[in-house]
A and B are shown apart, each in its own frame.
Chain A
């Protein structure tokens, strides 16, 4: 009995030293890489790299992003914004859940509404690459991620945005912005 207790103690102490494992495929390309790359990338034409970067900044401002950093020699623009992530149907569902809980005698423990989505922190990177083979042609790639917090500032979701419609809408705006920019310069 005593030996078993010692063994248990040893295992417990070793467990305390264990480092959590690194996900095996953390830095391997997923099979969907090519699809996602094509969703996030467009080729555009512009008279200069400066024009396309200016047009990009204007689009990001249109979309209410703040520009965090620009590294012109590498064509990298990083922008972010905090916006509302309220989901009315989710809020209604959680409200009824709280009501049912209260009717069941849950009292103060009925707090499902606090797990409702509250705000989202969005980060966007836009990289503009000149095509070395064709002057005036640029490859633009956008990547977007977001963190969604609940009413108590707990993280609900960490995700990369992969929906084609989102990127298409931004590229449509970029083409319009570039058209205006080219006309002004």
Chain B
């Protein structure tokens, strides 16, 4: 290939690169579904969805969140904490078969999703206590 031909090819490639469409990034998230669900979910032996939701709200308040919205019917609570950084959490409470309730939490700090298991374990430690207190009508 002669030198002018090479130059022409290079120019053509550059022009094509300019036409490339860019796919919007970071919309669908990057985690594997099953793994993410496992670390974000815990099940409780109870039938009381409303009580579980109230325990979720109490736990979030203890952790310094304010509640942005709560829906008893759908079982979702969304909360925000402003403390040097912004942390947002959505917790869903779903009635399962066999008198069990599943609680799933997901959190974001600023523009990053929280994906590490220990942080969710910490949340469920707080929720476990709140569930115990509410179930036994203490507090």
Q: Which residues of A contact B (CB under 8 A)?
A: 19-20, 22-30, 33, 36-37, 40, 68-69, 71, 73-76, 78, 123-125, 127, 129, 132-133, 141, 143-147, 158-160
List chain B residues, Cβ under 8 A from A132: 137
List chain B residues, Cβ under 8 A from A37: 61-62
Contact A133 B86, beta carbon cutoff 8 Å: no
Q: Which residues of B contact A (CB under 8 A)?
A: 50, 53-54, 57-58, 61-73, 80-87, 107, 109, 112, 114, 116, 118-120, 122-123, 125-126, 137
How far, in whole Å, are A26 and B83 apart by their CA atoms in the complex?
10
Contact B119 A124, beta carbon cutoff 8 Å: no
Contact A159 B61, beta carbon cutoff 8 Å: no
Q: Is the interface of B mostly helix, strand, loop or mixed?
A: mixed
List of 4 A-B pairs having minimum Cβ-Cβ separation, nearest first? A73-B72, A158-B82, A27-B122, A125-B66
Residue of A23, A74, A143 touching B85 (CB-CB under 8 A): A23
How far, in whole Å, are A26 and B63 apart by their CA atoms in the complex?
9
| Smallest Cβ-Cβ distance to B30: which chain A residue | A19
Contact B66 A146, beta carbon cutoff 8 Å: no
